[in-house]
Structures are given as C-alpha cells and as structure tokens.
Amino acid sequence: MDKYWIWFSKLNTISVKIKNELLKIYKTPEKIWNLTKKDLQETDILSSKEIEIIQDINNRQNLEKYIEYMCKNNIKMITIQDKKYPENLKNIFDPPVVLYVIGNTQILKSKSIAIIGTRNCSNYGKNIARKFAYNLSKQNINIVSGLARGIDTYAHIGAIEAGEKTIAVVGGGLDTVYPEENKNIFQKIIEQGAVISEYVVGTKPEKTNFPARNRIISAISDGVLVVEATKKSGTFITVDFALEHGKNVYAIPGNINSSMSLGTNELIKQGAKMVTTESDILEDFS
C-alpha cells in the first residue's frame, strides 16, 4: 500500500479533475509530493490555495496509521493506474484517483445494474426493489446501490437473500457505516460482494460527498433502474450521470396519486424505459 496515493486521495478540497490532470503531467503522486512551490506554480493549473494544500505538512503526517488500519481491516486500495480499476469508471469525465474496497475487487468489472430510489419509500417500492434485485442477481447481474435508507437498502437485501453479489458505493470512509442501522447489511455485502468508496478512512459521510458518490454508481453499472422517486428526488443526480455516461435508464411505473411515483412516471414520459418485469431489462443485457 502506497502512502503517496493515500496522501493524494486525502486532498479532498482539490477537485478530482485537477488531480487527474496532475497525474497526466507527473505520472505518480510521489513525484507530486516532491515538487517545490515553484514547480507547482509552473503547472498553470493550480490556484495558490491548491498549492498550499499540496504542500501542507499536516496532510502528510500519520499516513502509516492509515496503512496500518487498512491492512488490519482488509481494506484494499485500487489506484486509477491499476489493472483492477474498472475500465468504464476510468472513461468518465472525473474518475476517482483511488478506490478503497472491502470485499471482492473482481466483481467491479462484472455486468451490473444500479437499483436506486427515494429514502422514504412505500411498501410497494420496498417490495419491488427487493424482488427485482433478487431476480436480476440470479441472472448473474450484480446489484449496485448506495446503502442509503429506503430503496437502496432493499436492493441490497434482495441480492443478499438471493445469495448473489451486490456492490455498495458509499459517501464516506470505509471505517464508518452510514446509516448506522445498516451495519448488518454492510457486513453481508462484504461477504457476498464489495463496499467501495473514493474517500480514505476517517472521512465523514458529509452531504456534499453523496452527489459525487452517485457518479460512481452510474459509471460501474450497465444500466440504472429507478424504483421510486419524488419529483425533486436526489435520485435524479444519478439519472443525470447515467445519461451523461450513455447508460440505459429504466423506471418502474407507479400510482399516479402517490408522490413516491411522480418522479418515475415523469422519467417514463421523458423516455426512460418502462419496466414491469425483469425481462424488460434482461433483453437489453443479453
């Protein structure tokens, strides 16, 4: 495990886009670590604030403790330069420079579908997410979601109950389970699949991390299924990424009187593929 990559990924106030540009120029985080202030100024892509952050001694301390914690807790690190790094994630506009993974790293390159939706879902939404996840995972399609309350949770549960693989993409370090009530599910996912994050251990699951997390959910999936969503649901952030990434978007139709179905019904009107059975998705995956 390389302390320079950990240091580089820790610099959260520097955008992923800038980090990738620096890697194109200097190839490795170790070389960036060793640059002088003058060298950094000459790149012409960094603000004075970003140069300060790169050279800040506080960001360079105790890196061995991160390595020790990750080794002890079986947290693997996949850099954007590793062969294990998912190709479809590498091809997006702003790929994470590092992925931290607990579980099976091989499945990150397997065929998969994201199942997402609102946190405050109905019983109908819970049952549909669970059923579709169960049946699709039985067809060797990994279920990807975000471990959030609601639809995400039931998508993971469906795959777990099927005894198949599921991937949770989280918005904080892998030392924190959020929400806390999903601790048991978190553990089951590790046993049957993988939990991944672009954030180093110690990173709190801040609100601002979740929109960025959603681009990873879209990128590593071959399609996105929206089960339930209100008209202004955060789910649409993932849908927008899916459209940007050229992925198929699927939506479950719902009761026109239910606020939980306003978003999915609107997606269908806008051109998302209406799904009523798993075969509606499987015909695109075959």
Q: Nearest 5°: phi and psi at 75? A: -90, 120
Opening angle at CA 253, ends 251 and 256, nearest 5? 135
Q: How many CB atoms lie within 10 A of CB 116?
A: 32
Higher pLDDT, 1 or 257: 257
Chain length of the chain: 286
CA 13: distance to chain centroid? 19
Helix (H, G, I), strand (E, B) or coil at 255: coil
What structural domains does the chain harbor?
A: 3-72 (no CATH), 105-285 (3.40.50.450)
Distance CA 200, CA 9 (A): 7
Give the pLDDT mean for 261-274.
95
Handedness of CA 158, 161, 163, 169 (dihedral sign): positive
Kindly report, residue by residue over 66-92, the tens digit of the pLDDT. 999 999 999 999 999 999 999 999 999
Kindly report, residue by residue over 177-197, the tens digit of the pLDDT. 999 999 999 999 999 999 999
What's the pLDDT score for residue 117? 96
Predicted confidence (pLDDT) at residue 116 exceeds the cutoff of 90: yes
What's the pLDDT score for residue 154? 98
Kindly report, residue by residue over 17-43, the tens digit of the pLDDT. 999 999 999 999 999 999 999 999 998
DSSP code per residue over 26-94:
HSSHHHHHT--HHHHHTTSS--HHHHHHHH-GGGGSSHHHHHHHHHHTT-EEEETTSTTS-HHHHTSSS
Give the pLDDT mean for 124-151.
97
Tell me what the pLDDT averaged over the chain comes to: 95
